[in-house]
Amino acid sequence: MIGLVALFVLFAAFVGLINPKWRLWLKPASRGRFFGLSLAAGFVLAVLNGLLTPWEMPETEVPSAPESSRESEPVTEIEVSQAEYGEEWPFTVDHGTLDCVDNDAGLNAAAVFRAPGIGIVALNGIARSVRGVLPTEEIWRDNPALPGTKVNLGPFIQLANGLCGH
């Protein structure tokens, strides 16, 4: 609402400056002060509108860890399966384990997916630098709804990054 008022005030001030017929009702001595105040009020209202309007970010639903993984002890890995996630499952294998491993520098920051029979697959940039870790593309499933794209890995990367303390 403030934005509409600001636009109206700015419009009236600019039209008044451009078209002399619109400013006949003001005395010549007060015209400059009126339009200056109108411009200032319009800019203040526009700034307030920008500050008071909340920025809305699209929400991404992050899958929670399966009930079997929720324990009182710190979670170090999460077993996940296609049966749990259905069409949102991004891998070509039907199950595996999300984990966080040390990278070559000794930092526990490499988010990975342990695919049975295939090996350890990188889920974040740090994991790609670890020797012996396969690229994500090895098991990343094509998106049947959008040919030429892949199924969203984001929620699984967030879960694995959570294990790394990110």
pLDDT per residue as tens digits for the range 137-155: 989 999 998 999 999 999 9
Q: What would the pLDDT profile of 29-51 be if each residue is shown by its tens digit?
A: 555 555 666 656 666 656 656 65
Say how many CA atoms lie within 13 Å of 52 toward its Cβ: 9
Q: What is d(CA 19, CA 41) in angstroms, rounded to the nearest whole number? A: 20
* pLDDT in the model for residue 43: 64
Query: pTM of the full predicted structure?
Result: 0.54
